[in-house]
Amino acid sequence: MALESRHGVDILRANGTQFAPRRFAGRATNYVSYFASAACATGRVVDPDVVVSLTDPPIIGLAALRTARRSGVPFVFLCEDIFPEVATLLEDFHNPLVNRTLDRINRYLLGEADAIVALGDRMRARLVEEKGADPRRVHVIPNWSDCDAIVPGDKNNDFTRANGLSDRFVLMHSGNVGLSQNLDVLIEAADRLRSKERLAILIVGEGAKRQALEREATRRGLTNVRFMTYQPKAQLHESFAAADVFLVSLKRGIEGYVVPSKLYGILAAGRPFVAAVDASSEAAVIARDHHCGVLAEPDDPDDLAATIAALYDDPVAVRTMGRNARGAALQFDRRVAVKAYHDLFARVTRRAG
């Protein structure tokens, strides 16, 4: 454990192991070690007003609930994902006993929470209809972007010039290259888009699937796909500005169990996106409501390729959706979300007396 202070806020950090998460054993060890460290750290928490827990690692809420009850203060359960459904994404581990245990823990924490935060309406419906959460306690507060820090940028910048992208139509996936993003379909779509000579598909980030995707792109001889590591924070503005269109993708059937938070940074950057997700996903709803993106079937490479090709051939539509995206971002600005959390915490602490 380590104590630090940032901007006047005291932070007690619980530390766990950091084994490579590509295999279940490493992930499980990281989860358990962090839980043990966090449980010990709660003993040093004095007179909190409210205790908030995330859902990952999936058992951490137990330590938070114990701290809240010991201190006699409200417990708020912030659902950034829903277990055990998210655990089924782990391709190397499917254990019915573990999944049943995670489901029981999740339902218990939902039942004990004084307030529950869902990241979108679809997640709220999942929690109420499938997990038995009390609808009166579930509050929707979406993820956000900082519209002051992330602003639309000029594509002709140092990043694009250094990477030979100034004259290319760039479709970018930026973020976790993991098990939920369904990027195998993007590689197949890229194979179908070889004739688009100016198209460059950038996969920026790290994750459990990156090596396999790189091998598959090499096996197919795809020259229109590039992989890049996470960009330095100082260069993030320019790397986002390099994209003409972003990709937001999820495996079919997991919408609402997870919510792609990167969407909000894309909106702030004033760029449209292809939502290769189920139609009820938060990303699909935002694309339709704000006319800032287009939908593609989440597991259909032909449909994804056709959607990308249509945007490639219609720069006017791309620019129009980009302007709409920036307008939508203002509804998901950091200030809006911070106020929503502040008001929620104030309400639950008043009710607790």
The answer on 182 and 319 residing in a single domain is yes
Q: pLDDT-derived band of residue 12, with 50, 70 and 90 as boundaries?
A: confident
Q: pLDDT-derived band of residue 20, with 50, 70 and 90 as boundaries?
A: low
The answer on 140 and 162 residing in a single domain is no
Give residue 38's pLDDT: 79
Give residue 313's pLDDT: 97
Residue 309: exposure state from Cβ atoms within 10 A (0-12, 13-18, ≥19): middle
The answer on 338 and 320 residing in a single domain is no
Number of alpha carbons in the 13 Å side-chain half-sphere of residue 180: 21
The answer on 116 and 92 residing in a single domain is yes
Query: Would residue 149 count as lying in a domain?
Result: no
Q: What percent of the chain has pLDDT over 70?
A: 96
**C-beta pairs of 281-289 under 8 Å, 24+ apart in sequence:** 281/122, 281/250, 281/255, 281/256, 282/119, 282/120, 282/121, 282/122, 282/123, 282/142, 282/255, 282/256, 283/248, 283/250, 284/255, 285/120, 285/121, 285/122, 286/328, 289/328
Q: pLDDT tens digit string along 251-300?
A: 999 999 999 889 999 999 999 999 999 999 999 999 999 999 999 999 99
**In the chain, how many domains are there?**
2
The answer on 187 and 139 residing in a single domain is no
Residue bearing the bigger pLDDT, 23 or 318 = 318
Domain containing 347 — which CATH number?
Answer: 3.40.50.2000
The answer on 75 and 113 residing in a single domain is yes
Q: pLDDT-derived band of residue 183, with 50, 70 and 90 as boundaries?
A: very high
Residue bearing the bigger pLDDT, 165 or 1 = 165
Q: pLDDT-derived band of residue 90, with 50, 70 and 90 as boundaries?
A: low
The answer on 242 and 263 residing in a single domain is yes
Query: Would residue 152 count as lying in a domain?
Result: no
User: Looking at the whole model, is its pTM more than 0.75?
Assistant: yes
* Cβ–Cβ under 8 Å, residues 86 and 258: yes
